[in-house]
Amino acid sequence: MPISMLESSIFKDMFGTAEMRSVFDDAATVRRYTETEIALAKVQGELGVIPATAAATIARLADSSKLDMVELKRETEIVGYPILPLVHQISKMCGPDGEYLHWGATTQDIMDTATVLQVREGLSLIEKDPAELDQILDRLALEYRDAPMAGRTHLQHALPITFGYKVSVWLLMIRRHRERLNQLKPRVLVGQFGGAAGTLASLGDQGLDVHAALMRELKLEASPVTWHVARDGLTETVQFLALVTGSLGKIALDVMLMMTNELAEAFEPFVKGRGASSTMPQKRNPISCELMLSASKAVRQHAGLALDAMVQDFERAPGPWHIEWAAIPESFILTSGALHQAKFMLAGLEVDTARMLKNLDLSGGLIVAEAVMMGLAPHIGRQTAHDVVYDACRVAATSGRKLAEVLHEDPKVSSRLERSAIEQLCDPANYLGAAPQMVDRMHAWKPKL
């Protein structure tokens, strides 16, 4: 029985997607191993490294679906790696021509290249979701471009913003991730073929030709030198996934806080029974946000593991490589799950602009104290204005009165500003700065793809 939430028949579709699991499951993994072995035989046959007839036989008869997985598991546990057991079985499938399988290769060549093929497929799936999120967030930002709400710093009222501005900040992260994904592909989608110590010695003067042909066959980038112990490409992939889920975690945290009864400004889409409590009928828990946040924390830990796996000794390291076997597939699956939850949650986000306005007015105008200070500064100086408004804020806060009333009663203010000017300065809707215009700028700013 599965013990991981990523494989659990109960939890797996909450934390990942079936599509992404199918990229990294056992069947997909041995299929990619076999694909790499076939490609190697094919190009070696074309170059005359092995008989062309043997290459043709291998291409025709090598079939990962016919592998005895029980035997593969048994032998892998003895050898420590799955490639020699895989070669044993495929060689038998191919008869005498199977002797030419895995010619000049080493286990890590096949496993790394197979991993890169899986990463390519995984990234192609990941790529679709930020593009969809981009459209969802762009629409949301434009819809609420001018909807005032309280901007909060250190969890306290800071200055007025608009909800569209907040969403535009989320959109900025997603668009930058789309750029990052496009930029990292040439560094990450690089095949591996170097032989025992990376020098291709067993292929003599044909080694580099085989290397180049194999990468062309698999449509992967070619590296000028073998990267057996240079793991930065795969590590960058996991860091990228951590960045994506980190941004989704930030969005989730914002929405979770806005869903609190005290704020009640935005809510996940209502689905009957979703987020219900077993004992409290009134509950509407932020389920998608919780899953996004947990994924961001888990992938962040995998990012640390991937960095740790970079520290490898000499030309082949004992141990660090194995860390990637968990970090890479789990990071992809968790990221796919978080993106799936984000699309659902944001596409149906319920926004209460009336409650945003009510919360904006909670402090009786204190949230625009900066506006009053800047309006008064030309008359009495900025620092003096700061001190005058600071004192008025303390009076308003302790007495529960409106800031505008307290300011009007202070001769240091009323002698300089008309009551109407004070009221205008204390209206949060008049102090949105460039927030609406930034929404427009974000709408116009497109990622470089």
Q: Show which residues are catalytic.
A: 154, 277
Q: Is 445 helix (H, G, I), strand (E, B) or coil?
A: coil
> Can you tell me which residue has the tokens 């888990």?
298
The distance of Cα 182 from the centroid of its chain, to the nearest Å, equals 14
- Gap between the Cα atoms of 116 and 222, Å rounded: 12
Query: 335 with 244: CB under 8 angstroms?
Result: yes
**Long-range pairs for 84-92 at CB < 8 Å and ≥24 separation?**
86/30, 86/33, 86/34, 86/37, 86/110, 87/37, 90/34, 90/37, 90/58, 90/62
Short-list 320, 139, 290, CA closest to 229? 320
Those residues whose C-beta lies under 8 Å from the C-beta of residue 248, and which sit 6 or more positions away, are: 292, 295, 296, 338, 339, 342
Give backbone dihedrals phi and psi of 113, rounded to 5 degrees, phi first: -65, -40
Short-list 424, 422, 401, 400, CA closest to 411? 422
Q: Give the number of other Cβ atoms within 10 Å of residue 206's Cβ.
A: 15
Query: 349 with 140: CB under 8 angstroms?
Result: yes
